[in-house]
Amino acid sequence: MRNLVEIGDLICYNCAGMKNHTVGIILEEWHDTSDGKRYIKIMWGMKGKVMPRASYDYYHKHNIENPDWQRWGVEAGKKDILWYAADKNYFSVIQ
């Protein structure tokens, strides 16, 4: 079993009991060559009560207003498509 999510994978948010309540697909990835971090863009098809925060670092490095970085829990993930840090093990591939 691989633990690295890739473009095109159907994934779930695997925290806070949301594994069976969330479904998303990875649309893009971006590697930051300055610090080696990897970011993924997820489009959510099904959202749970608790969703992950979008990556403040990704939006800050691209000088884009982050639409979601201050929200958490029920308030997080209001948008359907957001960028997330991929180095966190928050997401699991749906088998």
Residue-wise pLDDT tens digits, 27-63: 999 999 999 999 999 999 999 998 988 898 999 999 9
Rounded average pLDDT over 54-77: 80
Angle ∠(31,33,34) on CA atoms, nearest 5? 130
pLDDT at 31: 95
- To the question of pTM greater than 0.85 for the whole model, the response is yes
In the predicted model, what is the mean pLDDT of the chain? Answer: 88
pLDDT at 79: 86
Q: Identify whether the C-beta of residue 55 lies closer than 8 Å to the C-beta of residue 39.
A: yes
Annotated domain spans of the chain? 10-93
